[in-house]
Amino acid sequence: MKATFFQCSLIAVTLIMCFALSCTDQAKKTAEQTAAAKADIAAYIDAYAATLKADDVNGWIALWADDARRMEPFQPARIGKDQIMASIQTFLDTFAIDLKINNEETTIAGDWGYISGTFLYSAIQRAGGDTMEISGSYLSIMQRQADGAWKVFRECYNTDTPPAAPPPMKGK
């Protein structure tokens, strides 16, 4: 009886140890995958700023999922790559951009990533005129694609820079 109890105890301890070790391996694998995903998203952020600065609309739109949605201040949501591309093309036809992104948070949850931070950009009028300095905050939801690439699924941002005052009303 004592031998049987000892054998059962030994088997139970062995199973617990195997389970604990497999959990440790899984946690290590998950941590490595998260670190790799964060590095990929950091590279995405660099590409986002670089493509806009280079007026590379095709390179910039390639960073977006086909069914992406972009929500900008004072504008209706842009749905899908065609609307998003048309919007940024119109903007880049008018302004040259120098964008600096400060990513403050990256969270990975499986095939989804959430990033947020602040930005500062200079918008230089191509036809001449003043340079606008615009700062703000952003939140983007990233989605890992079937090929492993991370793309923007949803993006929204706000500006800290107040809008220009409206012209004075006539007759008042």
Domains and CATH numbers, the chain: 32-159 (3.10.450.50)
Which has the closest alpha carbon to 79: 64, 66, 69?
69
Token pair 């991370």 is at which residue? 150
**Single pTM value for the model:** 0.75
Q: Residue 150 and residue 113: Cα distance in Å, rounded?
A: 8
Q: What tens-digit pLDDT sequence spans the chain (172 residues)?
A: 556 766 656 566 565 655 555 555 555 667 888 888 888 888 899 999 999 999 999 999 999 999 999 999 889 999 999 999 999 999 999 999 999 999 999 999 989 999 999 999 999 999 988 898 999 999 999 999 999 999 999 999 999 977 777 778 876 5
Token pair 């995903």 is at which residue? 37
